[in-house]
Structure 1
Amino acid sequence: MIPSPRSLAVDLLDRIDRTGAFAEPLLDACLRRHALANAADRHLLTSLVYGTLRMRGHLDWIIERLYKGKFASMQDGIKNILRTALYQFLFLERIPDFALVNEAVELTRNRYPGREHLVNALLRNAVRRGRNHDFPYPDMGKNPEEHISVVCSHPLWLVRRWSRMYGPERTLSLCRANNQVPPVTLRVNTLKSSRPLLKALLEEEGFSVTESHFSPDGLQLNGPSDDLRSSSAGRQGLFLLQDEASQLIARLVSPEPGEEILDLCCGVGVKTTHLAALMKNGGRVLAVDLYPGKLDALNRLAAKMGITMVETLQADASTKWGELLQGTFDRVLVDAPCSGLGTLRRNPEIKWRLKPQDPSSHGRLQAGIMDRAAALLRRGGRLVYSTCTILPEENELLIGNFLSRHGEFSIRSSPGASSEASTLIGEDGFFRTAPDTSGMDGFFAAILVKH
């Protein structure tokens, strides 16, 4: 018997809480493993998982006011049953309220015998109050930070930090944008196709796509993406999924065919393969990462995309290594590990895991990687530092401290040949995007030149 989308959603949320895994790979594996009845059920499962993660703080605030006991002591599995049911009641309109309550009660009876009465009472109380329940939210005028935290479902410490940086109105705009479903954006593999050809091919297969605004390699999908990877274009390696802001980072590096490029913290190779494509598969990209599993995934991706000039190396990019390579690379990309706060639309689980002190600890790691990158770059070369976060301790402050240690570097405010991103570079020379201002993930980048 195939489990229901609601049962599977609770399973996934439990596993995300228990293991610290990310939702996307777990959900993809679940959709492959379980032959759900139809596209509507697949969509419901996706909506329940991501919606519950996005609105978790909001949902918990309501549950705490319905529950007479200590919410923190409630079993995590019961919390997720309540969260998914309450999310569906408040934000989706697919099944009758009584059916929603009954399924949550039955799920609880099977997993936590004896606790179904609690779930039944809480959810019936919520239904009785209606979707416009009478709990008074914190007042935006009197306490804007608490209002934004509760209504827009972000941790209070993060709302306070953004409010100090941007003010309450911009913080409200940013948090609202973080709760939106992000667009599905593709990057064309220019070694095998072109944007017009890929667009035409996808349209022949029944997909609706439009050209992205900033990235000349990007296409945005309009409509369902269920069969995208199994499409003819997907099987041939003509594209890969990549947010538009992320697509602009390799263009800030602006590599030329024949050059020696170093990609530090390359991960599974999304930006690495873009560098190779911009170089027309000529020259060398040395891709370095700490985790061999990611390098294996990079090698598979490169082979699928027809790339032969990428070499991989397992190393800790923050430590002293590569003495024989000092001063040899024309360009270095540091795609630094970071808090990921610019990707909350895609990875909402991050905001419930991150602690206030975490960005500072990332900053220390990032600084070590930058010091190593500086030694490996040749004079006259370009070093691009990028993150997918919007906190200054991982971005502007880090670059300021780097420049104070390395007087041989200066900021270059123009991307050069890659002018598509020029409008996203501020007067201080830094590249920035954010979901509420550009419609893209939140990215930061600095272009540095070694003299």
Structure 2
Amino acid sequence: MTPAARISAAIEVLADIDARRRPASDALKDWGLSHRFAGSKDRAAIASLVYDALRRKASAGWIMGDNAPRAVVLGMLRLQRGLNVDAIAALCSGERFAPEPLSANERERLDKADLSGAPPHIAGDFPDWIEPFLQRLLGDDLVPEMQALATRAPLDLRVNTLKVSSREEAHDALPHLGAVETPLSPLGLRIMPGEDGRGPAVQSEPEFLKGWLEIQDEGSQLVALLSGAEPGEQVVDLCAGGGGKTLALAAMMENHGQIYATDNDARRLAPIHERLTRAGVRNVQVRTPRNKADAVSDLDGRIDCVLVDAPCTGVGTWRRNPDAKWRLRPGSLETRRKEQATVLDRAARLVKPGGRIVYITCSILPEENDDALSSFVERHEGFRPVSHEELLGKPGLGFLKNATRRTAYGLQLTPQQTGTDGFFVAVLRKA
């Protein structure tokens, strides 16, 4: 496919997303199935165009004066890809499979491409209704933080210390990937996306297949480290899902002690078994719920550390899932808050005296973070937040003191400040 044909395809996929209000991945998959002549490089390039357009949907529509898929793609090419008017016009020739030629109005708007005077939700590319919630945390940093959340995310890897002695050993084994050490996580390697947004097929690398590496955002690695899990402890990962943080905890505990991994949705646990085997993990017991029964009721009052990777709106992952921000609705926040309260109350029953709850979200909304914990503490008088000084005093994590935002209850990571996804973490200790 020609570059112009790929742009036409991206416009077509965006129109499908708008019409059917569904995830971009589903629309791209259906497009690929109905256009089998498109090769893997073509499909990857089209996906990159679609996701870049979704990242800049508001600002691209603003400069074009139109939110239609064609206008958004043209505006994205100017704002995100940095193409000038002549370069965009050359792609829109109207020839076979190419978009129609630019109109005089489109040329004029692309030439000016001015975001000065744009309101924050336009300049930062996010839904306008969520601005008051974001403002509570970000204040004057609202626009630059949200612009950082609209950029492409790197591919981060966690080195599995159960299989390899050091990050340096793993790095030296993969020179062809162009990986660099992550600036904050002592276990991370980072691969920046190419111009087309694609990264290498890490899952096919021998080192990955041997369990040396796991794909995990640096922020996710950091919040796992801040849990303070130690060898010999009894730990419950209450919202384990596919097991990313379970694997990180197992490595921290050096396969000593016991981790119970469970999730109220048994389907989400499906990938964890193969991942545990590949990573060489031996101290994890997967508890799959049956008929909605509580899979860890026998552990109440016995657990040192309960990890609550809570259900949330996922605002902090918008770099990786830009379509999700345009599908998020105001009612979703209240739904997630109720789910957070339920899982926190369940965690409280598991913790033994002196034990702790590690509360994590991939959100930057205070309503899902500090507010959720404030309500929890009101319901459970025996729990108090661990201080920032104690959290950041863990060996090897002191460098985070000037990197994270401190909130009333915990620490907030953001793309602009830490270069990670937007993770929140707090630790509550039971008296």
Post-superposition offset of 1:282: 2.6
1:398 alignment partner, SS class: helix
Gap change, CA 1:312 and 1:7, over 3 Å in 2: farther
Please tell me the residue identity of whatever aligns with 2:46: L
Partner of 1:49: 50
* 1:157-306 matched pairs, under 5 angstroms: 157-167=129-139, 169-193=140-164, 194-203=166-175, 206-222=176-192, 224=194, 225-306=199-280
Partner of 2:365: 391
Gap change, CA 1:255 and 1:163, over 3 Å in 2: closer
Post-superposition offset of 1:199: 0.6
Post-superposition offset of 1:86: 4.1
CA contact (8 A) 1:289 1:295 kept: yes
CA contact (8 A) 1:430 1:446 kept: yes
CA distance in 2, matches of 1:184, 1:282: 30
Higher relative contact order (CA 8 A, sep 6+): 2
Please tell me the residue identity of whatever aligns with 2:251: A
CA contact (8 A) 1:289 1:314 kept: yes
CA distance in 1, matches of 2:170, 2:94: 44
Q: Is structure 2 residue 419 aligned with structure 1 residue 436?
A: no
2:422 alignment partner, SS class: coil
- Structure 1: tracts of 5 or more residues without a match: 72-78, 108-118, 140-145
1:61 alignment partner, SS class: helix
Post-superposition offset of 1:221: 2.0
Please tell me the residue identity of whatever aligns with 1:216: P
Gap change, CA 1:201 and 1:265, over 3 Å in 2: same
CA distance in 1, matches of 2:332, 2:250: 33
Partner of 1:406: 380
Gap change, CA 1:281 and 1:26, over 3 Å in 2: farther
Post-superposition offset of 1:188: 0.6
Post-superposition offset of 1:349: 1.5
CA distance in 2, matches of 1:51, 1:128: 21
CA contact (8 A) 2:263 2:289 kept: yes
CA distance in 1, matches of 2:241, 2:184: 24
1:142-192 residue CA offsets vs partner (Å, 9 max, x unmatched): xxxx5222233221122343235433x311111221122222211011111
CA contact (8 A) 2:373 2:409 kept: no
CA contact (8 A) 2:52 2:76 kept: yes
CA contact (8 A) 1:332 1:384 kept: yes
Q: Is structure 2 residue 111 aligned with structure 1 residue 132?
A: yes
- The alignment's TM-score, normalised by the length of structure 1, stands at 0.80
CA RMSD in angstroms, aligned pairs only: 3.5
1:244-284 residue CA offsets vs partner (Å, 9 max, x unmatched): 11101221222222322100111111111111111122332
- The alignment's TM-score, normalised by the length of structure 2, stands at 0.84
- Structure 2: tracts of 5 or more residues without a match: none
CA contact (8 A) 2:307 2:358 kept: yes
CA contact (8 A) 2:63 2:110 kept: no
2:202 alignment partner, SS class: coil
CA contact (8 A) 1:262 1:331 kept: yes
Post-superposition offset of 1:418: 4.6
CA distance in 2, matches of 1:34, 1:238: 35
Partner of 1:450: 430
Q: Is structure 2 residue 126 aligned with structure 1 residue 154?
A: yes
CA contact (8 A) 1:319 1:372 kept: no
CA distance in 2, matches of 1:249, 1:369: 18
Partner of 1:360: 334
After TM superposition, the structure 1 stretch with the greater mean CA deviation from structure 2, 427-436 or 333-342, is 427-436
